[in-house]
């Protein structure tokens, strides 16, 4: 009498099953996800064929007993990962020998082996460092565009789905307030202060931001004039030493400095600069990712919105992988590469180039190191 199916990595439950008097167990060959939650949203999982999916794929050789990619790369790469069943027709002779004669045979074919650019151990350590907090992380090779880390936290363990997740467990995941079933690296969020070096790069290329020229900034809040009404830009470190130049602004993450620089370069120059960095366009990646946006309309309607957007607030949203890619030009003297996910893709495919000069890239490299 079967008691339970247990994933190999679920050692606690496996020991409980083995402790049942008279119970034994046998190993079954199946898909295994050794990095569990750390790669859950990226790998996805395969699961039993549904009636609806079978109807959709009825002309592609699927049967009701097949497993099929349900989420993540398992779903995206279904056609490449899926193998082909073999077929053998035999005639067995009667008598003592029981000799078998093969009439026809079609050998089974394995699916493709797909190798990712992801560093699995770095992915795991990044996921663990997030300690179950809701968020997303990405890391890229700035010289090639290879994606090394793409994390969504918290996540689910795809091994649970392979065994047929219980109704109670699925309800637990679905009702978790941190929403581990939601793929955060596919979405876009307010970038906050991480966008400030990009604002600086745009201003320097526009010729309105001189890194060594400091601004006199006094107090914790600032507004351009009385036409702003009650709206004021607030900074966290009013103790920053005056005058505030670019390096000081990066070290102290000074909202007022970047707001004033955005106003100096103007709406048109800032928006066109962000568009050159890929805002408002599809991210060229193997998986579908939400595009980064300047605002809901793609424009900035007021000086206040321009100020807010300069330090990553307002209606600005960025995808985490796009954000990581936007830092590449600081190391490549102005080039941003297409983010890659598969090892067989051509490396160092240029997505954007001429984003900033080698001189300005060097200035921002220094500033980012000082502020880290």
- Residues labelled as active-site residues: 193
In order of 20, 256, 270, the CA distances from 300 in angstroms are: 66, 18, 9
Who's near 7: CB < 8 A, 6+ residues apart?
Answer: 157, 159, 160, 162, 163
Query: Are 136 and 126 in contact, with CB atoms under 8 Å apart?
Result: no
Query: Are 108 and 85 in contact, with CB atoms under 8 Å apart?
Result: yes
- In the chain the first and final C-alpha atoms are separated, in Å, by 59
Query: Are 159 and 43 in contact, with CB atoms under 8 Å apart?
Result: no
Paired strand residues for 140: 147
Any idea what DSSP says for residue 317?
A: B
Cα Rg of the chain, angstroms: 27
Beta-sheet strands, E only, within the chain? 46-48, 67-69, 87-92, 100-106, 135-140, 147-153, 188-189, 221-222, 233-234, 318-319, 336-337, 350-352
Who's near 305: CB < 8 A, 6+ residues apart?
Answer: 295, 314, 315
């Amino acid at each position: 009498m079967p008691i339970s199916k247990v994933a190999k990595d679920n050692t606690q439950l496996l020991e409980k099953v083995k402790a049942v008097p008279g119970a034994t167990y046998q190993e079954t060959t199946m898909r295994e996800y050794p990095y569990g939650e750390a790669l859950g949203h990226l790998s996805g999982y395969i699961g039993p064929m549904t009636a609806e999916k079978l109807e959709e794929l009825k002309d592609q050789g699927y049967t009701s007993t097949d497993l099929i990619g349900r989420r993540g790369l398992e779903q995206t790469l279904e056609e490449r990962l899926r193998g082909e069943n073999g077929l053998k027709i035999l005639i067995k002779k009667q008598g003592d020998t029981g000799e078998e004669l093969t009439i026809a045979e079609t050998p089974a074919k394995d699916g493709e082996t797909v190798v990712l650019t992801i560093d699995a151990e770095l992915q795991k350590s990044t996921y663990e460092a997030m300690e179950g907090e809701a968020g997303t992380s990405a890391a890229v090779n700035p010289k090639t565009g290879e994606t090394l880390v793409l994390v969504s936290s918290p996540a689910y363990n795809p091994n649970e789905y392979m065994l047929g997740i219980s109704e109670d467990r699925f309800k637990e995941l679905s009702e978790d307030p941190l929403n581990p079933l939601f793929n955060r690296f596919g979405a876009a969020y307010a970038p906050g202060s991480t966008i400030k070096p990009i604002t600086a790069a745009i201003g320097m290329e526009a010729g309105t931001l001189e890194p060594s020229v400091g601004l006199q900034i006094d107090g914790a809040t600032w507004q351009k004039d009385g036409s702003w009404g009650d709206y004021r830009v607030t900074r966290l470190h009013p103790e920053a030493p005056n005058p505030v130049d670019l390096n000081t602004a990066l070290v102290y993450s000074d909202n007022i400095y970047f707001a004033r620089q955005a106003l100096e370069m103007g709406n048109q120059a800032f928006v066109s600069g962000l568009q050159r960095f890929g805002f408002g366009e599809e991210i060229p990646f193997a998986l579908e990712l939400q595009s980064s946006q300047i605002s809901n309309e793609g424009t900035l309607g007021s000086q206040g919105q321009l100020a807010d957007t300069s330090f990553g607030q307002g209606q600005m949203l960025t995808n985490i992988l796009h954000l990581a890619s936007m830092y590449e030009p600081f190391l490549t003297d102005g080039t941003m590469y297409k983010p890659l996910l598969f090892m067989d893709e051509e490396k160092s495919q240029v997505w954007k180039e001429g984003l900033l000069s080698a001189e300005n890239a060097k200035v921002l490299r220094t500033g980012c190191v000082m502020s880290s």
